Amino acid sequence: MALVGSSAAVSGALGDAPLWTVQAVRYAAASALLLAAARAVGRRPHRPRGREWAWLAAVCAAGLVLFNVALVRGAQHAEPAVLGVAVASVPLLLAVLGPLLEGRRPRARAVVAAAVVTAGAALVQGFGRSDSAGLAWALVVLACEAAFTLLAVPVLRRHGAWGVSVHTTWMAALGFGALAVLVDEPGAVLGLTTADLLATAHLAVGVTAVAFVLWYSAVRRLGAGGAGLLTGVAPVAAAGGGVLLGGPVPGVLVWAGVVVVVGGLVLDLATAAPAVGEDPAPHPRGRRRVDGDPRAREAG
């Protein structure tokens, strides 16, 4: 989430770059990097089968492609803080819906902690101004951000963090590639400057390849609700990154928001129980069970 937060400052360097071309390059590079890294560590991704194609495509379509479209369209009607607050509301949504998808009841303590984190993140972001269209796009941003996590839950057991990350990024590269052809000028990729390429490389490596694997690993071990609390770290990291890049020192409300976010994290994560991704206990003879547990059949 700290890496995701850093993207706010880095994306500012891409203001004049062809948006969809940059995204296509970003996800194509991230997909190639993830595939090579997965093979290097012995976690070769599985080929999706049956309904898994639909789940993975939905993660890509909603959590990556539509999410970025909503950010762009929403920015035309609302201040960035409005869209930031929408993203900051994700912990509360995941705290309720995540456990339900995992076959459990939401924990009252987790819901309260998520509400605290959401309030703190909103203080960090500020609230901003918007018209009705901007608010509608903000709701789309919220839904897409939650979908990025929730729609991956059904395929995480078999594919793991590496598999989900690889498949969603190559799908996103195709989706953004199509948008680049339809919207950006032909040959736009040849017009990218050195600064554009450096910013895109940061997005591809840190914010996509590394962050995706870390995020889905957290979702697998903590559950969607538990991991969702950590999204409160992103606006805090964005505020800190802005200062490091020469921006103004945050005001009192931002610092108060940081304290509230930390308080919400401490409130729940200190006592949170591992969830769907907890590895089973080792077999008494030192071998992992394979019958009935698709995770045990993964290459790693």
CB of 250 within 8 A of CB of 197? no
CB of 139 within 8 A of CB of 51? no
Q: 242-262, pLDDT tens digit by residue?
A: 666 666 666 777 677 777 777
Flag whether pLDDT at 296 surpasses 60: no
Return the pLDDT at 204. Answer: 95
Return the pLDDT at 179. Answer: 92
Q: Which of 191, 146, 144, 131 is nearest to 172 (CA)?
A: 144
Return the pLDDT at 193. Answer: 92
Q: 168-210, pLDDT tens digit by residue?
A: 999 999 999 999 999 998 789 999 999 999 999 999 999 999 9
Return the pLDDT at 167. Answer: 97
Flag whether pLDDT at 299 surpasses 60: no
Instruction: Tell me the C-alpha distance between 277 and 153, whole Å.
Output: 10
Q: 23-64, pLDDT tens digit by residue?
A: 999 999 999 999 999 999 998 899 999 999 999 999 999 999
Phi/psi at 275 (5° precision): -120, -130
Return the pLDDT at 213. Answer: 96
Look-up: residue for tokens 């089973």? 280
Query: Of 73-82, 189-198, 290-299, which gets the smallest average pLDDT?
Result: 290-299
Q: 204-227, pLDDT tens digit by residue?
A: 999 999 999 999 999 999 888 888
Instruction: Tell me the C-alpha distance between 204 and 260, whole Å.
Output: 31
Q: Determine if the pTM surpasses 0.85.
A: no
Query: Of 151-155, 198-202, 235-239, which gets the smallest average pLDDT?
Result: 235-239
Return the pLDDT at 250. Answer: 65
